[in-house]
Amino acid sequence: MAQHPLLTKLIPCRSDNYAVLAHDPEENVTLLVDAPEATAIRQALEETGWSLTHILVTHHHFDHVDGLDDIKQASGAHVIGPALSLDKIPSIDQGVADGDEIRFGGQKIYCLATPGHTLDHISYWLPEAELAFTGDTLFAMGCGRVFEGTLRDMWFSVDKLAKLPAETTVFCGHEYTQANGDFCLTIEPDNQALQQRVEEIKALRQKGLPTIPTTILDELSTNSFVRAHEGEVKEALGMAEAEDWEVFAEIRKRKDNA
């Protein structure tokens, strides 16, 4: 059980984006992670009755900040985001970089630089709530496409998140889980945990339900990107002697061409 648990609400936005609210009833503070679209977020705030105090931005892509100005204006919330993108995201009140800590009510939010998908990408970790927000870096059974950084950068970012405590609940930026799982099966067809999870995900999606959040524990056993350092994954790819990041790079390239 988390030392300082939060209530969460996942908000489906656009075609496959997620925003998320996390609320601390004791301290009466609420954070939003990313603002893909204002309407869905405003509706979620009305439904919950939570009043927004903090907004965390993971990276500068349009599908994560399109509703930001709107929500900031309506709520007056304090906007925290990558210091590297202050020019691209003028609504940021507080620019953050790797290792920075932010107070959220009675607990701390740690800022983790996770470059690769974009150079500015920040993931957020709340150890006392056992929560992490990984944006477009770590997905359920996947990871983001590498647009701005190198494949090597992305491996270290994904691996950094994989090393958070196993019980950490992880919210990411997109519902890509089913396609990701099908792809991981092409890398690790004999992975039983993966086979089982793909079935569970299929059942959820057939009912139109989200597959998010995930946990670090589940990613360690089923996410082939996270597992690039495992001997069995290296061997399956004929790369037993390769560096971890090279194996990751091979998996990422295969996914890009899938």
C-beta of 79 vs 233, nearer to Zn ion: 79
Which of 4, 61, 174, 227 lies at the binding interface for Zn ion (CB under 5 A)?
Answer: 61
C-beta of 50 vs 139, nearer to Zn ion: 139
Q: Which stretch binds Zn ion (CB under 5 A): 20-28, 132-140, 162-170, 194-202?
A: 132-140
116: alpha, beta or left? (left if phi > 0; alpha if psi -120 to 50):
left
Beta-ladder partners of 19: 11
Is the separation of the CB atoms in 149 and 115 below 8 Å?
A: yes
Asked whether position 121 contacts Zn ion by CB under 5 A, the answer is no
- Closest approach, Cβ 11 to Fe ion, in A, equals 14
Q: Give 92-155 as a DSSP string.
A: -SEEE-TT-EEEETTEEEEEEE--SSSSS-EEEEETTTTEEE-TTTEETTEE---SSS-HHHHH
Instruction: Please name the residue that has the structure tokens 């690790």.
Output: 188
- Closest approach, Cβ 144 to Zn ion, in A, equals 6
- Closest approach, Cβ 157 to Fe ion, in A, equals 15
Which amino acid does the sequence have at 100? D
Tell me, by CB under 5 A, how many residues bind Zn ion. Answer: 2
Residue with the CB atom nearest Zn ion in the bound state: 61
Asked whether position 120 contacts Zn ion by CB under 5 A, the answer is no
C-beta of 24 vs 120, nearer to Zn ion: 120
* CA neighbor of 152 nearest in space, from 255, 245, 253: 245
Instruction: Please name the residue that has the structure tokens 């006392």.
Output: 128
C-beta of 13 vs 129, nearer to Zn ion: 13
Asked whether position 136 contacts Zn ion by CB under 5 A, the answer is yes
C-beta of 54 vs 61, nearer to Zn ion: 61
Which parts of this chain interact with Fe ion (CB under 5 A)?
63, 136, 173
